[in-house]
Each structure stands twice: as C-alpha cells, then as structure tokens.
C-alpha cells in the first residue's frame, strides 16, 4: 500500500469501549483538504453527523482533521451536540485551525450519553503519536462488529505524475437496509475542488455503498467522507478527473464489497447481477429486493438452489416485468429459464454453492439496458448471536 | 369449539410431501356459499391464486369447495394452470357443481411441477371420509413450517339465533414482509351476500393479516377466503352485520396473532403499539418499520432493551415526526422519554423481556389520532436453521 501524501494518523484507547482496545482515531491533513460527504437519510441523526454537515457548510468544504470513535454512537443523547463540538474544539485547538475544519464521526450504542472528558483527555495522546504509517490503527479504532479491518488503495497515473487514493471503512451489519452504521473515509493527495469532489463522490457512492443492502435506509450515524489535500501538487485536468473518478469508484466498490463479505455472521459474499431491466432504477429495485430477502439469504447459507425465492423476491420489488422472460442462474448455472425450472443437477450446484462467493444472475430477456450489480451476504445463525447480545 | 353448520372436511396424504403426513385437504359447503377473497399482490402469482380469482369472478362469489395442498406451491410451473384446473374439476365432478365453485390453494416449494395424478387420485379418498368434525385435519394438511395448527372460533348471538364463525390458517415465516405463504379460510353459517362479505373481509384483513409483518409484500400463493353458506338460516340485519363483523375481525386477529407467535424459530410474540401519529397510515408505517427491523427483533430475542434500534427503525420509516416527542416503553417500562434515555433498571427490564410476549409502545406526544397495533416475532437462530434447509 502506498499512502497519499500529507496525511497523518493516530489511534488510542479513550475508554469508550468496555474492552481495552483502540476506540478513538484521528486523521489529519497537513494542509486543509477539499472535502465532500454523503450522510445518512435517517430522520434520526446522531450529533456527529449533524455537526459534520454544519462544519462542511461553514468551512466551505475544507477539512483539516477527522476524529472518529467507536463504543458510543452519540445519538439520542441530551448532551450530543455539545460533546461532539467540544471534541472537535479540542482537536482544532491543537491544530490551530477553525473548529469547522474538524469532522466528528461516531459508531456504537445509541441513547447513552458520551463522556466528553474521556475523549478530550485522550486527544493529546493522539497528537503525540501522529504518523502516516498509522493508517491501519484508525481503521481498528472504528471497528465494531467488523471481524476484519477494511482498506483499499489505488495509484492513479496522471500526466503530472502519480496520485494516491486510500480508503478505510467500517460496517458489517449489512443484513438488511437498516441501521448498520457505515463510516467511510477516502483520502487522496490530488488537488481537486470541493465541487468536483462532491460530484465524483455522489456518483461513486451510487456505484458502491448504495449497491450494498444499505442505501436510502441508513443508520443514524452513516457518513462517507472524501478528502483531497493536493499534497501531490498534481491537479487532474477535466479529462483526467474521469480517470481519477474511475479509480475512486473502484476503491469504493472494493470497500463496499469488503463490508458485504464481512456481514455479521456471514459466510458468503453474494453478488447479484441484474441485466435487461427497463432502466437502471428498475434493475436496482429488483436487485435490492433479492438482496433483502432473508429467505434468499438463508437458502444461500444452506447452499440450497431455491430459485423460486429469488423469483418471488423480484416479484415483490414493485417492478413490472414479464415472468416468461426471466432467466436466473446461480454460479453460472441456469436454474430458471423463461420463468420455469431449468434442467440442472441439484447435487452439483449444491457443491458449487458451498463456495465462499455466490453469484446470482437475474436477466430479463429483451432489449432493456438497465443493469446493476449489488452486494449482500448470506444469513447465518451467527448474525443472530451477534445482534442478540450487542450491548451485553 | 362449535363449528358452523353445513360444512364438511377431509384430509389425506396424496404424496406431495416427502413425509407421509396429510398434504391434501378439502372443505365443502353443502350448499354453495357466498364468498369473498383477498389474494397476494406479488407480481409472481401461483396458478391456484389466479384460478381462484377467475373462479370467484365466474361464479359471482359462490363456492362449494376448497381444495388445499401443502408440499408444492404450483408456482412458476409450466403445467400450473392446467394442473390446478384438473384438480378443481375432479372435485366439481364429485360434487356435481360447476368447476368455478371450487377454489384451489397451494403452499410449498416454488418451481417444481405438481403431479396432477397424485392429487386427482387422492380426491376420491377425501370424499369417502367427509365429516364436519375433521376441521382440524384440513389445518394439518396445509401446515408447512408451522409448528402448531392455527384455528379460531366465535359464536355470534343475533336476534334470530346464534351463528358460528370458524377460521383456520397457516403461515409461519413472518420474519420479514416477504414470501411467507399465508392461507386463511374462514367460514360462517350466517347468510350474507358476497358484496357484504367482501366489505367485511377487506376491513377485517386490514385489522389482522395486514398488521402482521406481511401486508402488501406478499408471497406468491397468499389467499384469505371468507365463506358464508347461510346454513343457520339466519341473515344478519344491517345493524347486526356490524356485530358479526366485530366477531369476524376478532377471529382473524386471533389467527394473525397465532401466525406471529409461530414465526419460524420464534420464541416471543412481539406486539407493537404506535399511538399519537398524524394518521393511521403513518402509525402503520412506523410500526411496520420497527417490526421489520432484524436488529430490533434480535435485540428482543436477547432480552436487550436496546431502544435506540427502535428509534432508528422508526426514523427509517419515512414518516416525519419530532424526535423530542417520542416516548418508548418496553413491557410497560419507559425506556425513552422525549427522545432521550429514561431512567430504568436494565436488569429488571431484562428479566421482564424474558417473557414470551413483548410489548413495544411507541408514542408521539401531541394530539395525533393515528394509531395501530402490529404483530411480529423475535428473530432467533432457529429461523436460519429452518430456512437454510427448507427443501432438503
């Protein structure tokens, strides 16, 4: 991994988690970076999300630091705004930048007041140990039910030289489009304006995080933040921005795929391809309906080629399609042709479905150009174990 | 239990299930009954559902027999319509009634051709053994993952005498508003026209089956059918129809509650009360969003008073409400007051949540009149076990 220039990282244990493992991370950019963010659409929004949006507005998209914690979502808390602000101020004072250049992010339990003192007292420790190589430590500091740290990198060759993209993310409860907190921080040393960053981020999120079974229905704390500090001194031309965006999108797709793969208790990554729909929106609706079906997800967990559940889930998507034009394949094996059972060896397919990766392909015959790719995971007993005892 | 007059029942093993247990049931009404039905809204509709609707139209709401099977949904099958029709004809011939007076219903695996011969050959056996007391046998014949047979009864005292209502239902996979086949057959010996039956049924379904986490998103095979054969020779007056409808609704609410209680792998019945919403629709949307949240359902399974998940689920409902007016209680214990944590003993509440019945109350303070009651169940490891190996 090659990191973008001009960023430094640190993490420490502030005492927000019950167990003594890093729960507070800091990302700083040596010069204020251009920034763009996408945040949760949930009506219930955690204090850090609200403050993050306010700060991005106030600073006109300039960010010098990101302070992220696990162990407490700082959501539905009486002191939420005040605590989030105080933490940002402590960082801003150290950096001697306006408080609006500090972005807070939190993940953890909802409805428990967050102890401001724990965080504020830990902040000086973060500054003692800032290193560009401590990138992975921040990833660890924001993990909750994640079983693996999630990072992705890209090198983008441009006329003026190479720029780097580095992304980190957390998120795991991707079983349902509900309340699985996703945090994502993507950094580059390219020089790009906040306006262009925003356009790129929206499109890249649409091809990555919004193609997980998360999307519009989001957690109280979700935020994906993109920073470009220009430390490479390379400013992509208009045409080069497309190359850059392509790499950005790949990094974010990689991160999203890692989240799906690490779904709570998940054994298998499920990739759903829908092709031939009337338009992209219809394709996404069909894919999401399949991805959200617990009956499909449990069938895949059991390596059961029960394609009727896939067809029925698509039928519940609200998209109108001709049943007799539906072809479904699993692991490349046709199981449904023209809406009816294909002739396949159940035993052989069962073995193929034991694989760690499962591909569901749903095709509508005809000339529809709408297609999408969507990720989810299988649904195992582990999910229940994790979520029945999250707070205990 | 007191059964309505003029109905007889039978069940047998036709060979559609792998295990030798009743899989074919017959309900007959000695005289053609008035009938009304509510069927699935899934785009993918099983052959028996389509035929049922055609028959009800053709017969102008007259039904002499219902033939129901488990073991095969007869959905996404090449021979679906033809097989369903042939089965109806075999019954109609025996009864010497028009085929349109026979309603087929199926539940089981999708996409496997149904063997017409097995059913047609079993039908004479059903007629050998028709008895009014064999009501429960039909319930058993349509059980799939149900762990208990589900029936409910009511006696309605009217001026002219008593009429009886008897309902049977199957359904269990109520974990998500997706593809959990529900069949419901409710019979009465009152004399009521198909038009009035239809009005009553729609309202009663709205207070019962549509308040499970099923509703608009339905299985390929769902049908709830209401029959009134007039065998009591008592015709409720306009005012008495309201009394009758009240009892009908209670019977159907009882059936719906039994389904939620028997959710696949469920240990607990969860009842969600939403009050103070702007209107009933908003209340239902909030309730459904809470009922469909796997994170809420797993928390309840683990007796974890994690009210933040309830608040967040409500925030994802799409209903606009003032966070600071939200009160949430669990088992009557306030856990969230005005959007913030209430002061409660977590240990005591945990013990209360170990109960087999859990009540979630979500109140919006103010003068909103919208309220609802909604049923679901907790989400346990048993659900996964059942659904990962449904076909094997």
Catalytic positions of B: 181
Could A311 and B44 be called an inter-chain contact, meaning their C-beta atoms sit closer than 8 Å?
Answer: yes
Q: So what's the ipTM on this one?
A: 0.78
As to burial, measured by CB atoms within 10 angstroms (0-12 exposed, 13-18 middle, 19+ buried), residue A319 is: buried
Q: What is the pLDDT of residue A128?
A: 95
Give the pair of three-digit tokens for residue A327. 């072809």
Mutant choice from B213, B312, B381, B389 vs A, greatest count of A C-beta within 10 A:
B312
> B390: nearest CA in chain A?
A299
Q: Nearest by CB to A109, which of B298, B302, B308?
A: B308
The answer to whether the CB atoms of B44 and A314 lie below 8 A apart is yes
Of A199, A209, A201, A195, nearest to A248 by C-alpha is A201
CATH T-level topology, domain B7-261: 3.60.70
Residue A271: strand pairing partners: A359, A375
Helix (H) or strand (E) holding B359: strand B357-364
* pLDDT higher than 90, residue B145: no
Angle at which helices A47-58 and A80-95 pack, to 10 degrees?
50
| Residues 227-286 (B) with a CB less than 8 A from some CB of A | none
Q: Which of residues 330-359 of A touch B (CB under 8 A)?
A: 336, 339-341
- Please answer whether residues B310 and B328 qualify as being in contact, where contact means their C-beta atoms are separated by less than 8 angstroms: yes
A382 band by pLDDT with thresholds 50, 70 and 90: low
Kindly report, residue by residue over A133-155, the tens digit of the pLDDT.
Answer: 999 999 999 998 788 999 999 99
Q: What residues in A contact B75, CB-CB < 8 Å?
A: 308, 312
Give the one of B112, B292, B385 whose C-beta lies nearest to A341's C-beta.
B112
pLDDT at B266: 74
Q: In CATH terms, are B7-261 and B269-388 the same topology?
A: no
Closest listed residue to residue A35, CA positions, set A16, A52, A13: A52
> In chain B, positions 184-213, which contact chain A (CB-CB < 8 Å)?
none
Query: Tens of pLDDT along B148-205?
Result: 999 999 999 999 999 999 999 998 654 443 445 789 999 999 999 999 999 999 999 9
CA distance A242 to chain B (A): 34
Q: What pLDDT is recorded for position B147? A: 85
Render pLDDT for B99-124 as a digit per residue (tens, 0 to 9). 999 999 999 888 999 999 999 999 99
**Distance in angstroms (rounded) separating the CA atoms of residues B284 and A246:** 43
% chain A with pLDDT above 90? 73
Helices (H), B132-234: 135-141, 194-207
Q: Phi/psi class of residue B111: alpha, beta or left (left: φ > 0; alpha: ψ in -120 to 50)?
A: left
Residue A216 confidence (pLDDT) above 60? no
Torsion of CA B198, B203, B207, B208, to 10 degrees: 0
Burial environment of residue A133 by CB neighbours within 10 A (0 to 12, 13 to 18, 19 or more): exposed
Name residues 146-175 of chain A within 8 A of B (Cβ).
173, 175
Contacts of B313 in chain A (CB under 8 A): 178-179
Please give the Cα distance from B262 to B150 (Å, whole number).
9
Question: Cα dihedral angle (A87, A91, A92, A93), rounded to 10 degrees?
Answer: 100
DSSP code of residue B85: H
Nearest Cα residue to B299 out of B278, B342, B328, B270 = B270
pLDDT per position as a tens digit, B236-291: 999 999 999 999 999 999 998 898 888 766 788 899 999 999 999 999 999 988 98
Q: Check CB contact of A383 with chain B, cutoff 8 Å.
A: yes
- Please list, in sequence order, all residues whose beta carbon lies within 8 angstroms of the beta carbon of residue B268, skipping any fewer than 6 positions away: B300, B301, B355, B356, B357, B358, B377, B378
**Which uninterrupted H or E stretch holds A361?**
strand A357-364
3-state helix, strand, coil in chain B (%, to 5): 35, 25, 35
| Catalytic center residues of A | 181
Model confidence pLDDT, tens digit, residues B33-88:
999 999 988 888 999 999 999 999 999 999 999 999 999 999 999 999 999 999 99
Q: Give the residue-averaged pLDDT of A68-95.
A: 96
Residues B216-235 pLDDT 10s: 457 889 999 999 999 999 99
Indicate the domain borders of chain B. Answer: 7-261, 269-388
Report CB contact under 8 Å: B304, A113: no
Q: Which H, E and C letters describe B231-262, residue by residue?
A: CCCCCCCHHHHHHHHHHHHHHHHHHHHHHHHC
Quote the mean pLDDT of chain A: 91
Indicate the CATH number of B269-388 among 3.10.20.340, 3.30.1180.20, 3.40.50.150, 3.20.20.70: 3.10.20.340
Cβ neighbours, 10 Å, residue A71:
26
> Where residue A263 falls among pLDDT bands split at 50, 70, 90?
confident
Q: Is residue A9 within 8 Å of A166, Cβ to Cβ? A: no
Burial class (CB within 10 angstroms; exposed 0-12, middle 13-18, buried 19+) of B86: middle
């Amino acid at each position: 991994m090659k990191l973008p220039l001009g960023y430094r990282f640190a993490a420490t244990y502030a005492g927000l988690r019950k167990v003594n493992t890093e729960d507070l991370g800091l990302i700083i950019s040596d010069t204020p970076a251009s920034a763009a963010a996408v945040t949760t659409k949930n009506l219930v929004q955690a204090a850090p999300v609200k403050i993050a949006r306010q700060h991005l507005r106030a600073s006109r998209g300039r960010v010098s630091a990101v302070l992220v914690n696990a162990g407490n979502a700082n959501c539905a808390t009486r002191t939420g705004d005040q605590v989030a602000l105080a933490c940002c101020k402590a960082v801003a004072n150290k950096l001697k930048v306006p408080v609006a250049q500090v972005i807070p992010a939190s993940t953890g339990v909802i409805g428990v007041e967050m102890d401001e003192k724990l965080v504020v007292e830990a902040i000086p420790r973060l500054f003692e140990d800032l290193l560009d190589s401590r990138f992975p430590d921040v990833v660890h500091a924001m993990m909750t039910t994640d079983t693996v740290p999630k990072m992705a990198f890209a090198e983008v060759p441009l006329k003026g030289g190479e720029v780097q993209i580095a992304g980190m993310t957390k998120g795991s409860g991707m079983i349902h489009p509900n309340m699985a907190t996703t945090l994502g921080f993507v950094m580059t040393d390219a020089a790009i304006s906040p306006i262009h960053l925003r356009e790129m981020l929206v499109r890249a999120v649409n091809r990555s995080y919004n193609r997980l079974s998360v999307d519009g229905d989001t957690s109280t704390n979700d935020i994906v933040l993109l920073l470009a500090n220009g430390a490479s001194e390379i400013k992509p031309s208009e045409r080069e921005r497309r190359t850059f965006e392509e790499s950005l999108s790949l990094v974010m797709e990689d991160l999203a795929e890692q989240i799906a793969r690490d779904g709570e208790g998940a054994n298998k990554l499920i990739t759903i391809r829908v092709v031939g729909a009337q338009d992209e929106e219809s394709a996404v609706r069909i894919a999401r309906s399949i991805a959200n079906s617990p009956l499909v997800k449990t069938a895949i967990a059991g390596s059961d080629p029960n394609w009727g559940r896939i067809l029925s889930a698509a039928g519940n998507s609200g998209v109108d399609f001709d049943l007799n034009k539906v072809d479904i394949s699993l692991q490349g094996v046709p199981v449904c042709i023209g809406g009816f059972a294909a002739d396949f060896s159940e035993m052989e397919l069962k073995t193929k479905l034991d694989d760690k990766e499962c591909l569901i392909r749903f095709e509508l015959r005809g000339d529809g150009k709408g297609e999408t790719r969507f990720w989810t995971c299988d649904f195992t007993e582990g999910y229940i174990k994790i979520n029945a005892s999250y707070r205990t």
